[in-house]
Amino acid sequence: MPEDTFGDRLKKLVKMKGISNVTFSNIIGISSPNVYKYFNNKVIPTITLLQIISKEWPDASIRWLLLGEGEALTGENQSQGEELSEKVKSLENIIEDKELIIQLLKDKLENQKI
């Protein structure tokens, strides 16, 4: 999915930082419903929000957040964020594989009962 909007990029930043939406909400000091308003582009980001993000994550590019230009993260943390994303995808694949194995075993057991 293209990261065309501020909300899309904000969601990606939260994911890259490896935190939940609730944790993000707590860090920036706004309610979860208001966070979702940002995620869904229902409200325009405030200077205060951008200042908090900049303070909490100095490696986050405000230019990228606002305009989609450049890299999301600068420096060492960018590679750490990418590495974390790769690990998450790998774990998701392992879970999918295990779920498939479980389903195949259930099917086999069911066929043996008949």
CB of 29 closer than 8 Å to CB of 52: yes
| Short-list 61, 81, 89, CA closest to 17 | 81
| Short-list 32, 62, 59, CA closest to 49 | 62
Rounded-to-integer distance, Cα 113 and Cα 83, Å:
45
> Given this model, what pLDDT does residue 1 score?
45
Three-state helix/strand/coil letters over 70-97: CCCECCHHHHHHHHHHHHHHHHHHHHHH
> Given this model, what pLDDT does residue 19 score?
92
> Given this model, what pLDDT does residue 87 score?
80
Q: What is the pLDDT of residues 42-100, one digit of tens each?
A: 999 999 999 999 999 999 999 999 999 988 888 755 556 667 777 888 888 898 889 89
Rounded-to-integer distance, Cα 31 and Cα 40, Å:
14
Q: What is the pLDDT of residues 95-109, one digit of tens each?
A: 888 989 999 999 989
pLDDT for residue 25 is more than 90: yes
The answer, as to whether pTM is greater than 0.85, is no
